[in-house]
Amino acid sequence: MTRKGAARKVDRTYGDGRLRMARAYLSAARAEYLVADDGDIGNPIISQIAIAAIAFTAALTAKYSGLANQQNHATAVPALRGALGNRFPKAQEPRLRNILNEKDEVQYGTRLKTKGEAAKLLTQLGEFAVWAETELKRPR
């Protein structure tokens, strides 16, 4: 199994909690998108999208490897690949990377993102979330 980055051992309750958080952040991102005006800044929506993606990833790695990625979200993709191996579809990897690549910029940078950019990432997160939810129902 490939493992990159700092990780700590976690139990099943950790993964269950992260899944609940993932669902909550996805719901919050969707709600914020719906109430945002077309000219509003998309950064807050994208921030919630990124947090949701990280939480879905943590739920998956916790369930299938018993590990939680720490500190560096850039290692989330290799951690997920390590936990799932070939069950991590190639189509999901760019979705997750696209979302994670936005995290630092929208939370700490100065570039203003549009609601349209947020919409594209929300669609990608929705597809990732459907896959993650299905994968989490599989036996260990």
| Neighbouring C-beta atoms of residue 77, cutoff 10 Å | 20
The span from the CA of 31 to the CA of 67, in Å, is 31
**In the prediction, which pLDDT does 4 show?**
47
**Are 51 and 28 in contact, with CB atoms under 8 Å apart?**
no
**In the prediction, which pLDDT does 140 show?**
79
Q: Name residues whose C-beta falls within 8 Å of residue 30's C-beta, 6 or more positions apart in sequence.
A: 122
Band (32; pLDDT cuts 50, 70, 90)? very high
pLDDT of 127 above 90: yes
**In the prediction, which pLDDT does 58 show?**
94
**In the prediction, which pLDDT does 5 show?**
53
What DSSP letter does each residue of 83-125 carry, written as one string? HHGGGS-TTHHHHHHHHHHHHHHHHHS-PPPBHHHHHHHHHHH
**In the prediction, which pLDDT does 48 show?**
98
pLDDT of 45 above 80: yes
**Are 84 and 60 in contact, with CB atoms under 8 Å apart?**
yes
pLDDT per residue as tens digits for the range 77-89? 999 999 999 999 9
| Neighbouring C-beta atoms of residue 73, cutoff 10 Å | 21
What percentage of the chain has pLDDT greater than the value 70? 94
pLDDT of 91 above 80: yes
pLDDT per residue as tens digits for the range 101-123? 999 999 999 999 999 999 999 99
Hey, where are the domains in the chain? Answer: 7-136
| Check whether domain 7-136 has CATH 2.60.120.620, yes or no | no
Q: Name residues whose C-beta falls within 8 Å of residue 83's C-beta, 6 or more positions apart in sequence.
A: 1, 60, 61, 63, 64, 65, 67
β-strand 7-9 against 67-69: which pairing, if any? antiparallel
Q: What is the mean pLDDT of the chain?
A: 92
- Per-residue pLDDT, averaged over 18-25, amounts to 98
